[in-house]
Amino acid sequence: MKLKSLMFAAALTAPLAQAESITYSKQIQPLWQARCATCHGNTSVYWGQWQQNKDAYKKQNKGPRMDSYAELLHFIGWPQTGSLMRQLDDGQSNGKGKPGGMYQHLGNDEAERQANLQLFKAWVGEDAWSGKHWQPKKDQPAISKQELDRLKLAY
């Protein structure tokens, strides 16, 4: 774990060129395995089923299953547009000033959480980290085609 945090911390200060080559298979999958798998892995049910019985799953501290590239994209692109970004944000980009519910799981201390947030952001695309929904919400417009085009999400 120590070594991993160091590696993730190193990625934070790495030059932009390196940040741009963040992929699911190299950085995100292992990070997801370490920090998210216990509650979103193969002992959880997929989103549709989870949604139908949300409160019961939440009581067991189980989130929807997202243990593959395609399943994770479900919470970024569609139908749960922007969900991952809203949940992982530290409060700086979500317009709320307070972190999303999953930010706490990104690391054991603030430095590790920030380093891992940067990894997720670099993978999703810094310019695509808006957390907007598919449909307009209150005073927030819906995500646009231009914004969707900025998603990186390399496998």
Task: Name the site residues for ligand HEC (rule: CB under 6 A).
Answer: 35-36, 38-40, 58, 61-64, 75, 80, 83-84, 87-88, 101-102, 105-106
Tell me which residue of 62, 85, 63 sits closest to 73, measured CA to CA: 85
Q: DSSP assignment, residue 106?
A: G
* Least distance in angstroms from the C-beta of 46 to ligand HEC: 11
Residue 112 and residue 104 in contact, taking contact as beta carbons nearer than 8 Å = no
67: tokens are: 């243990």
User: How far is Cα 56 from Cα 60, in angstroms, rounded to an integer?
Assistant: 7
* Least distance in angstroms from the C-beta of 124 to ligand HEC: 11
Residue type for position 150: R
* Least distance in angstroms from the C-beta of 74 to ligand HEC: 8
Nearer to ligand HEC, 24 or 75 (CB): 75
* Least distance in angstroms from the C-beta of 41 to ligand HEC: 10
Nearer to ligand HEC, 39 or 128 (CB): 39
The SS3 assignment for 137 reads strand
Nearer to ligand HEC, 59 or 145 (CB): 59
Q: Which residues of 70-86 are buried (b: 16+ CB within 10 A; e: fewer)?
A: eebbbbbbeebbbbbbb
* Least distance in angstroms from the C-beta of 35 to ligand HEC: 4
Give the side-chain half-sphere CA count within 13 A for 22. 27
Nearer to ligand HEC, 88 or 128 (CB): 88
Nearer to ligand HEC, 47 or 147 (CB): 47
